[in-house]
Amino acid sequence: MRTTNPIASLLGSSPFKPLQAHMRIVNECVTEVPALFDALVAGDNTALVEQKDKIFAKEGEADTLKHDLRAHLPKSLFMPVDRRDLLELLDLQDTIANVAQDIAGLMTERDMSVPEGMAEPLAAFVLRCIDTCNHAATIIEELDELIESGFRGRDASRVQEMVEALSKLEDETDDMGIALAQSLFAMEDDLKPVSVMFWYQMLQWIGDLADYGEKVGDRMLLLIAR
């Protein structure tokens, strides 16, 4: 009998299909983050709240799919992939959406303003971190080819190269984040201490988007290695 459960239906063809579907939603979630900062810089509170709502909705969508996938993932899979590896990869993906939600929540719960001179480098930093997540999502789309090739050969080499490129992207975000933190440090005496504290937290969370994107790539390398 054909199942009416969409997750079970996806799992029937491959456990990677819902994993890929989850990462697409996560990527849609983080792609809304730059507009959040645009609204903050423009002082447009209406747009800020609208972006927050979009991010929260996507995070909720990703969360629902994550729980469904966990509930329906078979105990044993007829393929060279450990169930625990898939679940860990799923958790890493989900953390990216969680961080995006944290950023949106902080920006709307507190009346924040971008310190003078930080708007442009901050926008560049945010976009680079989103690039890293986009790249991680592209790597997850390679799972189909990896399955067909048995996680070996040209497809595996291509994914390894993509993960190396992902690591370089993440390194760039580290440098950009450090430069912004140094700018903030130089302005500490002119800003309210609480504002400084929140901005250091914000910079950390933005960088975390790239960090978890890189961890998704690293987990893919582990799948190939096994």
Instruction: Return d(Cα 154, Cα 146) in angstroms, integer.
Output: 9
Instruction: Return d(Cα 122, Cα 115) in angstroms, integer.
Output: 10
Residue 164 has pLDDT above 70, yes or no: yes
Residue 2 has pLDDT above 50, yes or no: no
Q: What is the mean pLDDT of residues 16-42?
A: 95
* pLDDT at residue 14, rounded to an integer: 66
Residue 181: exposure state from Cβ atoms within 10 A (0-12, 13-18, ≥19): middle
> Do residues 96 and 3 touch, judged by C-beta distance below 8 A?
no
Give residue 9's pLDDT band: very low, low, confident or very high (50, 70, 90): low
Tokens (6 digits) for 38: 């645009």
pLDDT tens, position by position, 125-158: 999 999 999 999 999 998 877 777 777 788 888 8
> Do residues 121 and 205 touch, judged by C-beta distance below 8 A?
no
> Do residues 204 and 178 touch, judged by C-beta distance below 8 A?
no
pLDDT tens, position by position, 69-78: 888 776 655 5
Give residue 193's pLDDT band: very low, low, confident or very high (50, 70, 90): very high
Higher pLDDT, 55 or 144: 55
- SS3 per-residue string spanning 8-64: HHHHHHCCHHHHHHHHHHHHHHHHCHHHHHHHHHHCCHHHHHHHHHHHHHHHHHHHH
Residue 197 has pLDDT above 80, yes or no: yes
* pLDDT at residue 39, rounded to an integer: 96
Residue 221 has pLDDT above 90, yes or no: no
Crossing angle of helices 193-225 and 153-186, in 10° steps, is 170
Residue 7 has pLDDT above 50, yes or no: no
Lowest mean pLDDT among 9-18, 84-93, 160-169: 9-18
Average confidence score pLDDT of the chain: 89
